[in-house]
Chain A
Amino acid sequence: GAGVSQSPSNKVTEKGKDVELRCDPISGHTALYWYRQSLGQGLEFLIYFQGNSAPDKSGLPSDRFSAERTGGSVSTLTIQRTQQEDSAVYLCASSLEGTAERTQYFGPGTRLLVL
């Protein structure tokens, strides 16, 4: 079946601009995660959605970052007033919560470059 998809695959933007990154999870997966992979910080958790519960935003680095998940499926990560330190690969993952499988399946990522 189809895996996690993300768009765009690459995004180049100018400092100060807003960007939106999209994630389509695996159909039927109730949990969705955003991570960031950067040279200086490695792989960091950003935010987690599970069903209709309030998202866990504890990993978001600043209030310029926000995310939403519509209809329990597609998610959008928005970065406002981008800074050069936001340059990274943004990874989305989904999983089936409440099961014993406990595996997060990752998308290919969106590579963001802020000039």
Chain B
Amino acid sequence: AQSVTQLDSQVPVFEEAPVELRCNYSSSVSVYLFWYVQYPNQGLQLLLKYLSGSTLVKSINGFEAEFNKSQTSFHLRKPSVHISDTAEYFCAVTHNTGFQKLVFGTGTRLLVSP
């Protein structure tokens, strides 16, 4: 069985500051990792994913995450946040063969203030 831990339920940050949202996972098999974002009153949108290859993956809006197998982590970072990044961010894991049920973390609410 897999599990995902997002230790920070809420992260307040000022605009243009850097941010890191932490994600740790547990799995007995190889995994794929995802970050989804949920803006207020909207559905989940894929932000970025790690399937294989380079352990550093990037989104089109400046976020990046690095897969660290030894630390079982997939932390999300952005060097300079905008007000529009205010949202809830979910880390998710699935095993890399067969059925792909996503196991989600509890989410981290990013609050960006001016």
Residues in A lying within 8 Å of B, measured CB to CB: 4, 31, 33, 35, 42-43, 45, 48, 50, 56, 59, 91, 93, 95, 97, 100, 102-109
Contacts and interface: CB of A to CB of B under 8 A. Distances in A.
Contacts of A95: 100
A107 B113 CA distance: 28
Given A42-B106, A42-B107, A100-B51, A106 B101 contact: no
5 contacts: A42-B106, A91-B44, A93-B44, A102-B49, A102-B51
B43 A50 contact: no
A-side binding surface: helix, strand, loop or mixed?
strand
B51 A45 contact: no
B94 A102 contact: yes
A104 B102 contact: yes
Interface of B: 32, 34, 36, 42-46, 49, 51, 90, 92, 94, 96, 99-107
Contact of B101 (A42, A59, A107, A108): A59
A42 B51 contact: no
A91 B32 CA distance: 21
Contacts, number: 51
A100 B34 CA distance: 14
A108 B32 contact: no
Nearest to B6: A42
B100 A31 contact: yes
Given A102-B32, A107-B43, A108-B42, A45 B101 contact: yes
**Of listed A100, A104, A109, residue having the most chain B CB within 10 A:** A104
Contacts of A31: 100
B43 A108 contact: yes
Contact of A102 (B42, B100, B101): B100
Contacts of A59: 101
A103 B36 CA distance: 11
Contacts of A106: 36, 43-45
Contacts of A91: 43-44
